[in-house]
Structure 1
């Protein structure tokens, strides 16, 4: 995957950077480099005040080469073509084939930059960039590099083109579990920018990406299928699988979410929800009247007749 677009590399087919954006990026880089150089020069002047003039001259030359020449080379090498100015302007240095630059590319650009930017105040670099069809300066021509625009607005995003109809459904048995995300990103970027690339460069990149995909899946493409069509068919198969998984997950998430919500309502507070019990209707029975106690009747005592003083005859 070295030399091909990966997750830490660049996007394929981006438009070459033009002179205004490149000039602004170079200006930002020069301001930062010169500030660092002046601070280092003052520090070295104070530190080497006790040395002779030859030693101070050697230290000045060393600091010039270290900061003004070695600094940009180291930054471009470690950042894969993105200096501070290019990062601020959304630019990046890539190889002619779209891959990330290495130390030899940054070394050639830095060495030529001293002559065409610093010694001529950027006049030579501006003329070369205006003459070149892709806005390259002499350092880019000798190093085989190109400064491209890395930022693309969402409105200009291009969808992945569909594969040929006769390839749809031919990769259903392909094992895609071992394909890393970096390779998917590289293939997607190639397919969306293939028409903007040089035909020879695009064909070489498609074959290289197809070989990497075959090495990951272990299945060669069908006989007679071009590399770009093979890549488009495999990407379409992966998108179809992702769609099916998303639909299945959404279908199973509905009942599971309802059950989880009901379980969660019971778990809140540690007590199950209270339900109001409906009263059970009881049969209505007429209570028997209480027993009535007999009303006491007044007791009448028989009284002997009153004595009249007359005794009946015997």
Structure 2
């Protein structure tokens, strides 16, 4: 396995995006962090469950008789499994492919085609997680296949990649109209809806647009601008703003927002 395994995608806007797979080290670190948080959650529920069981011991005894301890143990195992699986499903759904551990390790689950992961894929990955972690089957598979997939990834059609963090030292030519619109976007647009991978696509287009034919540049810019408008909930462009100006503004505003967040 290569230390840094990279994959390439062609987006619907005909922009080529190259991502780096997360690697076994990053994924193990993320899992350790998740297990720490998950352990705290499970400990809380165990304590609450014990208190609840003792308070209502007569109820459980009347309901299950002499088999009450066995039933309570079975219920505890079931609840723990739901919490264990639900932890990853919940966070990776609301954080678009990231659990707390993945967020801190700066990695993310995406679909094989580079698109954001959905609830279906997240649930399928979680179903096979216990099998992947049995005898380190998942870790072995990750180390010995090019796409660094465990069983859950093969079933769900997902990969885990390193987060594409905006590089604030990057500089592109930004028009005056783009700079003015960037200020408005910071105030009125939902820039948090943009994933770092979306930012990478915008950056890739802005860097390579002058190599495209006039028609290719126009079509790509228009499709990309429409997609970004929908993501950031910015319904209509000013009449004097071109799609390139808009994409430049989004690029600049996203960089500035990231800079504020890191301060």
Q: Do Structure 1 and Structure 2 share a fold, with TM-score over 0.5? A: yes
Task: Could you tell me which runs of 5 or more consecutive residues in structure 2 were left unpaired when the two chains were aligned.
Answer: 1-10, 61-67, 174-188, 208-218, 230-241, 250-263
Say whether the 8 Å CA contact 1:101–1:145 is kept in structure 2: yes
The one of 144, 151, 155 aligned to 1:131: 144
Say whether the 8 Å CA contact 1:45–1:56 is kept in structure 2: no
Higher strand share: 2
- State the match for 2:85 in structure 1: 69
- State the match for 1:145 in structure 2: 158
Shift of 1:61: 2.4
- State the match for 1:104 in structure 2: 120
- State the match for 1:82 in structure 2: 98
RMSD: 4.0
Once the two structures are superposed, the pairs formed by residues 1-314 of structure 1 within 5 Å of their partners are: 13-49=18-54, 50=57, 51=60, 52-117=68-133, 119-120=134-135, 123-152=136-165, 154=167, 157=170, 189-190=200-201, 192-193=203-204, 211=223, 213=225, 234-235=243-244
Change (3 A) 1:19 1:238: closer
CA distance in 1, matches of 2:35, 2:117: 21
Shift of 1:151: 4.4
Say whether the 8 Å CA contact 1:29–1:84 is kept in structure 2: yes
Say whether the 8 Å CA contact 1:17–1:148 is kept in structure 2: yes
CA distance in 1, matches of 2:50, 2:113: 45
Name the SS of the counterpart of 1:13 in structure 2: strand
Say whether the 8 Å CA contact 2:221–2:243 is kept in structure 1: no
Deviations 1:123-165 (A, max 9, x none): 11111111121322221121111111114363785859xxxxx
The total of aligned residue pairs comes to 186
CA distance in 2, matches of 1:139, 1:129: 11
Name the SS of the counterpart of 2:149 in structure 1: coil
Greater Rg by CA: 1
TM-score (norm 1): 0.49
Say whether the 8 Å CA contact 1:13–1:98 is kept in structure 2: no
CA distance in 2, matches of 1:108, 1:137: 12
Task: Could you tell me which runs of 5 or more consecutive residues in structure 1 were left unpaired when the two chains were aligned.
Answer: 6-11, 161-179, 196-206, 218-232, 241-314
Deviations 1:201-228 (A, max 9, x none): xxxxxx89854657999xxxxxxxxxxx
Change (3 A) 1:20 1:215: closer
CA distance in 2, matches of 1:210, 1:236: 11
